[in-house]
Amino acid sequence: MHLSEIQFVQLAGVAHLISLSAIIYAPIHLGWHEALGRVSKLLRQMGQVYHYYTAGTIVAMGLVSIFCAPDLISGTPLARAICAYIALFWIVRLGVQLFYDFKPHVDAPWLKLAYHALSALFVAFGLLYGWLALR
């Protein structure tokens, strides 16, 4: 069975939503609530806003990919701009990840597997949406 371009973009949209599991799990695993309780209220609020903003952005990219896939593959200037934004988001996210000191926190085999699977997913998102933006 071959996936059409539309189905491939929709599958990527579902993968965006699945990737949210990391945004949900990371604060629990890393003890954000306790750690952020020791910083000023402003820093705590800013951290929460950044966290929710990132999650909301990923939800939006996923839903747009699922429900607007034909538009995203259309090649219109707006479609290319949206795809370029999504590609840039994930490429930057992958770049930022290179500077994280994640090793002490990825302390179980399943976490290592999940970390590398997410990294591969970020690369795939960058390539797919980059290709759609530039083709």
Q: How far is it, in rounded angstroms, from Cα 88 to Cα 51?
A: 18
Within 8 A by CB and 6+ apart from 30, the residues are 105
Copy the structure tokens of residue 29: 């695993």
User: pTM to 2 decimals?
Assistant: 0.91
> What is the per-residue pLDDT for 1?
56
Could you read off the pLDDT of 71-110 as tens digits, one per residue?
999 999 999 999 999 999 999 999 998 888 888 888 899 9
Within 8 A by CB and 6+ apart from 46, the residues are none
Give the start-to-end residue ranges of the domains of the chain: 5-134
Mean pLDDT of the chain: 93
Q: Alpha helices of 31-68 — where are they, by DSSP H?
A: 32-36, 41-67
Q: How far is it, in rounded angstroms, from Cα 66 to Cα 10?
A: 4
